[in-house]
Amino acid sequence: MSSLKPVRGTHDILPGDLRRHRHVENAAFETAGRYGFEEISTPIFEFTEVFSRTLGDTSDIVTKEMYTFADKGDDLITLRPEGTAGIARAFISSGLSHQLPLKFFYRGPMFRYERPQKGRQRQFHQVGVELLGVDSPLADVEVISIASDFLSALGVDGKVVCELNSLGDSDSRSAYRQTLVDYLMDHINSLSEDSRARLDRNPLRILDSKDKGDRAIIADAPLITDCLNDPSKRFFDELLEGLEISGVAYTLNPKLVRGLDYYCHTAFEFTTDALGAQGALVAGGRYDGLIKQMGGPQTPGTGWAAGVERLALMIDDPIGKKRPIAMIPIGNEAAELVLRLTQELRRAGHTIDLGYAGNMKKRMQRANKISACAAVIIGEDELSKNAVVVRDMDSGEQTEIPLSTLEDFLSRFL
């Protein structure tokens, strides 16, 4: 075998980390559930065109980051880099257009061939929500509120800001595109090579450039908010008003553009300084043209996705492991009774560690190591009396209990 290391950018998630991951996922699921969102699961791979035709020809994802391969039937397949396009595809292929509005929650692995660093993997996990079929900005208010409540439930809201922008409708975007290109053309010689290449095909993405020289030029660039037409302005005003009524704090960032092409009107990111370069925790926006562009009926949509790994880095171990009860048989004779008792107690809801082997001392050491809350000690003496000794591992107190009342006695440790 060439290497026993996981593939670069992928990770084994060991139990301690996985507890945090699951806590993040469950907090998102429960919060979205309170807004009436139901879980959906779509395949982790799709025909390549589901992504290549929707995320943007010039987007980093499509140009550099997709895991694409021909399968044995020569179909071109891509491991999903994000969840929205797959859900839009599922909406069309399952013929759900008569059930609108639809509110979906999802979770699962995503794949992007990016340069790995803290908070950025090639296989990572997202939780997300998508609300389909609602034109009104009220839908955006709702999805942004879910994100805000979710971050509060995780206790990270104090370290996060919601950055918000409007990309307007397509007329506003074309007007802005022209204004921006005119401005950038005046500085073309100072722009980075990457940005010059984007000028023609996707000038808005230049606003996202990390290049120092570009940043100086962008600082004085015209703003999209100045190019919004009246309907787009009205939409944005209603969104802001709805967020204020809902008690969701936000900061306007007129330079916020998203890396995917399907957005219109609302664009937002909940960002933090706590993770270094990878500051976006939750990101999303409105995508009214996506489903139609894929060949479905005109259906507006809005939603977001959050990086589970990034959020897991922000929280403490949420619950800790459930503390087990250790079974400590002394001598072979107790073994049979211990196995029977163990199964009865597990079926009654207790978490039991069987220890498997070793003398009393070894087994007590293990009970400490796994931070057992109690130890049930069964020796010859106890066997003859049909009793066991229960040791409270925190207080050290030992009590002899008749076998018949053991389950009852242990209920204090549940």
Nearer Cβ to ligand HAM, position 19 or 120?
Answer: 120
Q: Are 232 and 242 in contact (CB under 8 A)?
A: no
Token pair for 382: 């106890």
Minimum distance from residue 142 beta carbon to ligand HAM (Å): 13
Minimum distance from residue 139 beta carbon to ligand HAM (Å): 12
What does DSSP assign to residue 260? S
Minimum distance from residue 233 beta carbon to ligand HAM (Å): 22
Overall residue count recorded for the chain in this entry: 414
Residue 236 CA to residue 317 CA, distance in Å, equals 39
Minimum distance from residue 334 beta carbon to ligand HAM (Å): 50
* 194 three-state secondary structure: helix
Minimum distance from residue 390 beta carbon to ligand HAM (Å): 46
Residue 297 CA to residue 98 CA, distance in Å, equals 10
Nearer Cβ to ligand HAM, position 50 or 325?
Answer: 50
**Chain position whose Cβ is nearest to ligand HAM:** 307
Nearer Cβ to ligand HAM, position 26 or 351?
Answer: 26
Minimum distance from residue 110 beta carbon to ligand HAM (Å): 7
Minimum distance from residue 164 beta carbon to ligand HAM (Å): 14
Nearer Cβ to ligand HAM, position 147 or 372?
Answer: 147
Chain centroid to Cα 272, Å, comes to: 15
Nearer Cβ to ligand HAM, position 89 or 310?
Answer: 310
Nearer Cβ to ligand HAM, position 126 or 342?
Answer: 126
Count of C-beta atoms within a 10 Å radius of residue 177: 15
Token pair for 99: 């059930």
Nearer Cβ to ligand HAM, position 83 or 133?
Answer: 83
Residue 403 CA to residue 94 CA, distance in Å, equals 57
Minimum distance from residue 17 beta carbon to ligand HAM (Å): 14
Q: Where are the beta strands (DSSP E) in 343-386?
A: 352-353, 374-378
Q: Are 199 and 181 in contact (CB under 8 A)?
A: yes
Nearer Cβ to ligand HAM, position 163 or 353?
Answer: 163
Chain positions contacting ligand HAM, by CB under 6 A: 82-84, 112, 114, 119-121, 124, 126, 128, 130, 259, 280-281, 283-285, 287, 303-307, 309-310
Residues 6+ apart with CB under 8 A from 94: none
Residue 414 CA to residue 265 CA, distance in Å, equals 51
Tell me whether the omega of the peptide bond preceding residue 101 falls within 30 degrees of 0, making it cis: yes
- How far CA 346 is from CA of 228, 289, 321, 329, 411, in Å, comes to 63, 53, 16, 17, 12
Nearer Cβ to ligand HAM, position 217 or 308?
Answer: 308
Minimum distance from residue 85 beta carbon to ligand HAM (Å): 8
Q: Are 131 and 145 in contact (CB under 8 A)?
A: no
Token pair for 326: 């250790």
